[in-house]
Chain A
């Protein structure tokens, strides 16, 4: 027994430093990305062209922004199921604000994000102060957001199209050749890495994820931290929705529905423990790229929606079984 562990140690010791420190889950995720690219390039040579890869990153950036918010909440050991309609609401509110002339167009993006943050606040109050299980509160607030949007649109898709600023943010190119959406995602990512590694808030999030009691007894205002985390998640979901509206050039009912499962999957595939307290942001980035490539390959192979759902579910379950299991309770 001791021999095997020693030989393991020596193997580990021989690895270069950056590999020794890396999370095996993150390495697995990046390994899967390379595998998918390899498989794709066997199918069609276009898969390795820079144009295709940039296009994939652009599509991934919408999911990436949403998954960043989801990750904050999952690190706490909670979950945010209100993503679909908070996204839709963010998009619709931004497009609606743009209807109010010059000033409206200028504040369109903040209005969309703020509406998402308001719902995040509702979720956060319910989870942190009323101690309702997060899954239940966010399911309920998803219905409330849906109800509000149904009332607002009168049951139809509004004809409001996305203002130019939002379209530029999603599809324009500030640097030649690099879509703005990727820059936005990079910005959000940099902010998240800073938040997780350099701020007291980030440390508190990891602490609460491991043991809220211990964090509370160490003097962390756990309820405030949990509430802010949900506000961040709501705001980022809505921002993702705004970007998506810019990409599709209009907001539509139920446009956020296909983002709930992928955003959770991306976070979990990136090695973040669903129980909270463990996970790195780079894993989430890897998860987002992995999911986007998987989607792209499935659609290139002309897999019908049914097959895609099944592949999704099976991939998530297999990855969870590989490294998302709870420790044995005894």
Chain B
């Protein structure tokens, strides 16, 4: 096999995610009354970027064969925090942004500590920490409200040169500055190795604890960025339980659509971004096809159900029935 076929095999999940997104987006734009204009792309990008951040966070953790059911609550918590402190002049605003991102990172670090050093199951541990984060968010914002530095918010949610949505540029910058360095680092390789086979990685002397901890930590950071952007879009902070759990849920769907294996070790955060945009487009498509809003949650649920069932096609390749029980 030549070099590029290895590359293609490695990127298969990501490319599938890209194709799913492109097909859905084409159908959506073709049925949109306004067609393919900068406005339509701008709106779609702004909606997708929020989920994309959370999906990247989820992807990092899922790659280590874990799961983070608190990502949505970290988003809500950082949203509420940002609506208090990302205000005022240049200095207070930048300090506020730094504090918000640090909070997200701290939340991720707590999850990582509990899962790796506390040896707790990621599902239950992150449900519990999610409850704590949501409680903190409610303490910060018992009622929706607050404000944000509107110059910064408009700059990051507007358009560059009148065409390119700047939220997409920010997302690309995060991919370049956070995801790629992580993937190429020792910790990143360790995260993949730990997700693929923890005993084998341990026997090979891979620093699995450091790798997994880095994944949870960066997951918190990315979810915090999502919360920051949510504040930039809405100008307010709101501790909404339903919105937090919806983000958690759709982050998992996005990860699956983006070709990241829930058993760990396969896929990339870039795939999760495409998955996130595809997941958002399903919602938009229902609008474009003028579906009764009452039916939308049900249709989205069915799409989600089908998306998670796709992975079970791999069962057809199983030769030994004992491989079911991995």
* Most chain A CB inside 10 Å of its own CB: which residue of B114, B118, B121, B129: B121
B128 at the interface (CB under 8 A from A): yes
Expressed in whole angstroms, the minimum distance between the Cβ of B79 and any Cβ of chain A is: 15
A140 touches B315 (CB 8 A): no
A151 touches B295 (CB 8 A): yes
Residues of chain B with a CB closer than 8 A to A155's CB: 294
Contact size range, B: 35 or more
A325 touches B124 (CB 8 A): no
Residues of chain A with a CB closer than 8 A to B134's CB: 309
Report which of B118, B239, B305, B324 forms a contact with A131, defined as CB distance below 8 A.
B324
Report which of B128, B142, B294, B302 forms a contact with A150, defined as CB distance below 8 A.
B294
Instruction: Tell me which residues from 179 to 213 in chain B have a Cβ below 8 Å from any Cβ of chain A.
Output: 198-199, 202
Expressed in whole angstroms, the minimum distance between the Cβ of A304 and any Cβ of chain B is: 8
Cα-based distance from A328 to B322 in the complex (angstroms): 25
**Given A132-B311, A148-B298, A317-B125: A140 and B305 interface contact (C-beta under 8 Å):** yes
**Beta-carbon contacts of A56-80 to B below 8 Å, as 1s and 0s?**
0000000000000000000000010
Report which of A154, A317, A329 forms a contact with B294, defined as CB distance below 8 A.
A154
Residues of chain B with a CB closer than 8 A to A310's CB: 131-132, 135-136, 139
Expressed in whole angstroms, the minimum distance between the Cβ of A160 and any Cβ of chain B is: 18
**Given A257-B241, A309-B132, A313-B129: A329 and B198 interface contact (C-beta under 8 Å):** yes
Cα-based distance from A313 to B299 in the complex (angstroms): 33
A184 at the interface (CB under 8 A from B): no
B315 touches A307 (CB 8 A): no
A175 at the interface (CB under 8 A from B): no
A213 at the interface (CB under 8 A from B): yes
Instruction: Tell me which residues from 141 to 178 in chain A have a Cβ below 8 Å from any Cβ of chain B.
Output: 141, 143-148, 150-151, 154-155
Q: Quick one: closest B residue to A211, CB to CB?
A: B325
Residues of chain B with a CB closer than 8 A to A104's CB: none
A193 at the interface (CB under 8 A from B): no
B124 touches A212 (CB 8 A): no
A130 touches B312 (CB 8 A): yes
Residues of chain A with a CB closer than 8 A to B296's CB: 147
Q: How many A-B residue pairs have CB under 8 A?
A: 156
**Given A130-B315, A144-B298, A325-B118: A316 and B67 interface contact (C-beta under 8 Å):** no
Q: Quick one: closest B residue to A139, CB to CB?
A: B249
Residues of chain B with a CB closer than 8 A to A264's CB: 124, 127
Instruction: Tell me which residues from 268 to 326 in chain B have a Cβ below 8 Å from any Cβ of chain A.
Output: 294-302, 304-305, 308-309, 311-312, 315, 321-322, 324-325
A150 touches B135 (CB 8 A): no
**Given A306-B142, A310-B131, A329-B199: A321 and B118 interface contact (C-beta under 8 Å):** yes
Q: Quick one: closest B residue to A315, CB to CB?
A: B128
Cα-based distance from A264 to B325 in the complex (angstroms): 24
Cα-based distance from A61 to B308 in the complex (angstroms): 34
Identify whether the interface residues of A are mostly helix, strand, loop, or mixed: helix
Cα-based distance from A144 to B307 in the complex (angstroms): 13
A268 at the interface (CB under 8 A from B): yes
Report which of A139, A147, A275, A313 forms a contact with B128, defined as CB distance below 8 A.
A313
Expressed in whole angstroms, the minimum distance between the Cβ of A233 and any Cβ of chain B is: 16
B252 at the interface (CB under 8 A from A): yes
A312 at the interface (CB under 8 A from B): yes
A330 at the interface (CB under 8 A from B): yes
Expressed in whole angstroms, the minimum distance between the Cβ of A327 and any Cβ of chain B is: 8
B309 touches A132 (CB 8 A): yes
Instruction: Tell me which residues from 101 to 120 in chain B have a Cβ below 8 Å from any Cβ of chain A.
Output: 114, 118-120
A6 at the interface (CB under 8 A from B): no
* Most chain B CB inside 10 Å of its own CB: which residue of A308, A317, A321: A317
Cα-based distance from A308 to B295 in the complex (angstroms): 34
B256 at the interface (CB under 8 A from A): yes
B121 touches A326 (CB 8 A): yes
B124 touches A150 (CB 8 A): no
Instruction: Tell me which residues from 224 to 260 in chain A have a Cβ below 8 Å from any Cβ of chain B.
Output: 254, 257
Expressed in whole angstroms, the minimum distance between the Cβ of A257 and any Cβ of chain B is: 7
B138 at the interface (CB under 8 A from A): yes
Residues of chain B with a CB closer than 8 A to A136's CB: 252, 256, 262, 308
Instruction: Tell me which residues from 299 to 325 in chain A have a Cβ below 8 Å from any Cβ of chain B.
Output: 304-314, 316-317, 320-321, 324-325
A313 touches B132 (CB 8 A): yes
Expressed in whole angstroms, the minimum distance between the Cβ of B156 and any Cβ of chain A is: 29
Residues of chain A with a CB closer than 8 A to B137's CB: 306
Expressed in whole angstroms, the minimum distance between the Cβ of A32 and any Cβ of chain B is: 17
**Given A135-B123, A140-B301, A321-B120: A261 and B131 interface contact (C-beta under 8 Å):** yes
B130 at the interface (CB under 8 A from A): yes
Expressed in whole angstroms, the minimum distance between the Cβ of B55 and any Cβ of chain A is: 14
A52 at the interface (CB under 8 A from B): no
Residues of chain A with a CB closer than 8 A to B241's CB: 257
With A135-B123, A216-B321, A326-B119 already in contact, 11 other A-B pairs whose C-beta atoms are closer than 8 Å: A139-B252, A140-B301, A140-B305, A147-B295, A147-B296, A147-B302, A274-B121, A313-B132, A316-B124, A316-B128, A317-B114
11 interchain pairs, CB-CB under 8 A:
A132-B308, A140-B253, A147-B299, A261-B127, A305-B135, A306-B136, A306-B137, A312-B131, A316-B127, A317-B128, A324-B120
Cβ-closest 9 pairs across A and B: A147-B298, A309-B135, A306-B138, A313-B132, A310-B135, A143-B301, A313-B131, A144-B301, A147-B297
Residues of A within 8 A of B (CB): 79, 126, 130-133, 135-137, 139-141, 143-148, 150-151, 154-155, 212-213, 216-217, 222, 254, 257, 261, 264-265, 268, 274-275, 304-314, 316-317, 320-321, 324-330
Residues of B within 8 A of A (CB): 67, 114, 118-121, 123-125, 127-132, 134-139, 142, 198-199, 202, 239, 241-242, 249, 252-253, 256, 262-263, 294-302, 304-305, 308-309, 311-312, 315, 321-322, 324-325
